[in-house]
Amino acid sequence: MEPTTRLVRAGLPEPPGKLRPGEPIHKGPVFASAFSAPGDPASSPYTYTRFNNPTWQELEHALGVLEGGTARIFPSGMAAVTAVFASLLRPGDTVVLPSDSYYTTRVIMQEFFAGFDIQTRLAPTASNAQAEVLEGAKLLWVETPANPGMDVCDIRLLSEAAHRHGALIAVDNTTPTALGQQPLALGADISVASDTKSLTGHSDLVLGHVAVKDPALDARIAGWRKLSGSIVGPMEAWLALRSLATLPLRLEKQSQNALAIAQFLETQPGVRGVRYPGLKTHPAHALAARQMRFFGPVVGFELPDRAAAERFLQASHLLVEASSFGGIVSSAERRARWGGDDVSEGFIRLSAGCEAIDDLLADLGQALQASQSA
Ligand SMILES: *Cc1c(COP(=O)(O)O)cnc(C)c1O
């Protein structure tokens, strides 16, 4: 079966299995901290929800199918990132991070893990520059497309390079989701994502997951979760399971809208540096087309300065000014307002939603015009 069919049917009995008469098509969340577990705890599938929960298991099963591995859910993308760092890195280890990664990934490494004598090396995503600094590294962390600059690197090439140096490779796959790009199939050891973004896609959940193929690696990730208590409530897991069924519909529509928006922006006076992996003008478009099934919702572009960017956001009627991305509602923000990213004052990160494209283009057109009249 196609992964999309299995996503739509997540939580249902595997064909040719049938629901029992009167059984609800979708079960609700299982709200339990403790389960009946007499005698030897190993004989009960569930004992205590910090260890395991039936609603998590359904979501993890669906995510595992999507990733082509074993998935473990975490209460945020950063909890998933932290689970990888904490379960794999030991004093004296070196980690190679992208200099243009999601900002907080670099901050937690530098402000927290550095205190445990873990060294960080930085290199840009573009041109697979991280491959040049792998000597003696324990872990290579890549993010492609990188956020917010939308540079792309070659997961297969970097996986081979990491393994040649005896390092593990983890991919932050948040922007495309595992439906848009499959790091494990491309040779990576670990696929990590913030499911707060496109995967759940309704701007109402904070969630993350880690997926791996190697059972020993999975045991370390699962062990970290069980001991640290970095767990998801059943309600969140269930909402994510509901959202997952529509991921193929949402991601396809968002990717179509994002490409049309990127192409439109390239024709507009006053707009520079349009960045979208689906554009032929993207420096790594051929690579992106090879390794991604969907290019995802995020488009970057530059307006002349901070004031023009602010006027643009103010004048748009459809773009919600918000910092997340991947929701069904289109959003955008002037990224430099946060600091930390190497972007110009007029740089906008836009996330295409599922609205009709004609409405989006008309709105962008009028907002760009308004941004030009100081
Ligand atoms: C948002 C994001 C994260 C962090 O996820 P949270 O769910 O906010 O903790 C990590 N990586 C990338 C690329 C992100 O966009």
Mutate which of 76, 190, 197, 324 for ligand 1? The one with the most ligand atoms within 8 Å of its CB, which is 197
Mutate which of 76, 100, 102, 195 for ligand 1? The one with the most ligand atoms within 8 Å of its CB, which is 102
Q: Region 29-55: what's the mean pLDDT?
A: 95
Q: What is the pLDDT of residue 119?
A: 98
Q: How confident is the model at residue 18 (pLDDT cuts 50, 70, 90)?
A: very high
Q: How confident is the model at residue 148 (pLDDT cuts 50, 70, 90)?
A: confident
Centre of ligand 1 to C-alpha 194, Å, is 5
Per-residue pLDDT of 87-136, as tens digits, reads: 999 999 999 999 999 999 999 999 999 999 999 999 999 999 999 999 99
Q: What is the pLDDT of residue 7?
A: 87
Q: Region 140-165: what's the mean pLDDT?
A: 96
* Cβ pair 123, 85 in contact under 8 A: no
Residue indicated by tokens 């090439």: 157
Q: How confident is the model at residue 22 (pLDDT cuts 50, 70, 90)?
A: very high
Centre of ligand 1 to C-alpha 15, Å, is 35
Ligand 1 neighbourhood includes 108 CB (under 6 angstroms)? no
Please give the number of the atom of ligand 1 that sits closest to the Cα of 196.
7
Catalytic residues: 50, 102, 172, 197
Q: What is the pLDDT of residue 86?
A: 98
CA distance 41 to 349: 50
pLDDT(374) > 80: no
Q: Region 352-365: what's the mean pLDDT?
A: 98
Q: How confident is the model at residue 294 (pLDDT cuts 50, 70, 90)?
A: very high
Q: How confident is the model at residue 4 (pLDDT cuts 50, 70, 90)?
A: confident
pTM: 0.96
Per-residue pLDDT of 296-350, as tens digits, reads: 999 999 999 999 999 999 999 999 999 999 999 999 999 999 988 889 999 999 9
CA distance 32 to 372: 56
Q: Region 192-214: what's the mean pLDDT?
A: 97
**Ramachandran area for residue 150 (φ above 0: left; ψ -120 to 50: alpha; else beta):** left
Q: What is the pLDDT of residue 340?
A: 80
Centre of ligand 1 to C-alpha 203, Å, is 13
Centre of ligand 1 to C-alpha 43, Å, is 37
Per-residue pLDDT of 76-101, as tens digits, reads: 999 999 999 999 999 999 999 999 99
Q: Region 212-216: what's the mean pLDDT?
A: 98
Q: Region 23-39: what's the mean pLDDT?
A: 93
192: CB partners within 8 A, 6+ apart: 77, 80, 81, 84, 170, 171, 172, 173, 174, 208, 209, 210, 211
Domains parsed from the chain with CATH numbers: 3-244 (3.40.640.10), 248-371 (3.90.1150.10)
Centre of ligand 1 to C-alpha 22, Å, is 40
Ligand 1 neighbourhood includes 155 CB (under 6 angstroms)? no
Q: What is the dihedral of CA 268, 271, 277, 278, to 10 degrees?
A: 0
pLDDT(362) > 90: yes
CA distance 366 to 172: 35
Ligand 1 neighbourhood includes 168 CB (under 6 angstroms)? no
Q: What is the pLDDT of residue 342?
A: 84
- How many other C-beta atoms can be found within 10 angstroms of the C-beta atom of residue 137? 21
Q: What is the pLDDT of residue 6?
A: 85
Ligand 1 neighbourhood includes 196 CB (under 6 angstroms)? yes
Residue indicated by tokens 């809208």: 257
Q: How confident is the model at residue 196 (pLDDT cuts 50, 70, 90)?
A: very high
